[in-house]
Amino acid sequence: MHGEYKVPGGKLVVVDLDVEDGRLRNVRVAGDFFLEPDEAILAIDAALEGAPGDTDAVGLAARVEAALPAGTVMYGLTAEGVAIAVRRALAHAADWTDYDWQLVHEGPQQPALHMALDQVITEEVAAGRRPPTLRVWEWGAPSVIIGSFQSLRNEVDPEGAARHGIDVVRRISGGGAMFVEPGNTITYSLSVPDALVQGLSFQDSYAYLDDWVLGALGDMGVKAWYQPLNDIATDAGKIAGAAQKRMVGPGGGPGAVLHHVTMAYDIDADKMLDVLRIGREKLSDKGTKSAKKRVDPLRRQTGLPREAVIERMVDSFRGRYGLTAGKVTEGELARAQELARTKFSSPEWTARVP
């Protein structure tokens, strides 16, 4: 069995192993990390040798930690990263490069249709009718997008939303509210087979699916990192938030994961605070100044036009994993338009948690 895992902000860990009579055998850990002293790698292998095959990542990491020689220094490597690579080997997890990725980047769409497209495209990936897809959104109108389980009245000031002509839609994934405006926001979705995140905890899957964009930002001079559970941050402040939804495949078979990220390219903090109630509670002094401090837009950090930031992100993904241009099919669009009308634009869905 073979498993790979790139430690967030670190290096690649590779594990090869067998399972005999329910226990790990012939364990070999490798990778492009740095480790001192040399014999520490043998200690890691020995710590995993004979471990029960159903040991979880926490238990495997504990075995590794306990076996390391005194004074061991690991750079780009963690005991948790080794444990996750083992779990991915045992789960027969797929790798990014195992797939033929498709890019969907089309013209502006209304917010409700974006919610519906996320659902339809991920369902198609789960059914095996569509390859894993990176979809870059273009917003056709300003909106507040609330998480699947958020209270409408607790998150949104209806008078502020009406004053600024901002509609509210509810998405299928959890997480917090998103304030978006055309030209000020960069949003993308990954719709991937669940085999890609096999062996990862829910939290680890966020870091794993966000790692490519951290590299893309680094290439633009922005040092960013994953901040549990679902934020991307820099020294200057938060720049993005992620959310996920897991979908079961047809007949209960292998499914797919929807992972989407909204990034602040620019931000009207006054308007955001006028519309979002939650924004007021999260800010220490309840003022616009602190809102701008908490969320630091990519326009200032990169000095690049929004279109250039998106282009560089896409190029970075393509360079890592390959990416061919695609589009939403006529059938997918028809289904999404129907869902946008009957579900995502309906008061029953939007206010399902009043």
What HEC string does 107-170 produce? CCECHHHHHHHHHHHHHHHHCCCCCCEEEECCECCCEEEECCCCCHHHHECHHHHHHCCCEEEE
Predicted confidence at residue 294, as pLDDT, reads 61
Predicted confidence at residue 37, as pLDDT, reads 96
Predicted confidence at residue 289, as pLDDT, reads 47
Predicted confidence at residue 303, as pLDDT, reads 93
Predicted confidence at residue 282, as pLDDT, reads 54
pLDDT in tens, the chain (354 residues): 999 999 988 999 999 999 999 999 999 999 999 999 999 999 999 999 999 999 999 999 999 999 999 999 999 999 999 999 999 999 999 999 999 999 999 999 999 999 999 999 999 999 999 999 999 999 999 999 999 999 999 999 999 999 999 999 999 999 999 999 999 999 999 999 999 999 999 889 999 999 999 999 999 999 999 898 899 999 888 899 999 999 998 888 889 999 999 999 998 888 999 999 964 545 543 343 454 556 778 999 999 999 999 999 999 999 999 999 999 999 999 999 999 999 999 999 999 999
Predicted confidence at residue 7, as pLDDT, reads 92
Predicted confidence at residue 285, as pLDDT, reads 38
Structure tokens at 141: 């109108």
The pair phi, psi for residue 8, each rounded to 5°, is: -55, 125
Buried b / exposed e along 249-268 (16+ C-beta atoms within 10 A): beeeeebbbbbbbbbbbebb
Predicted confidence at residue 229, as pLDDT, reads 86
- Amino acid 95 reads D
Predicted confidence at residue 288, as pLDDT, reads 36
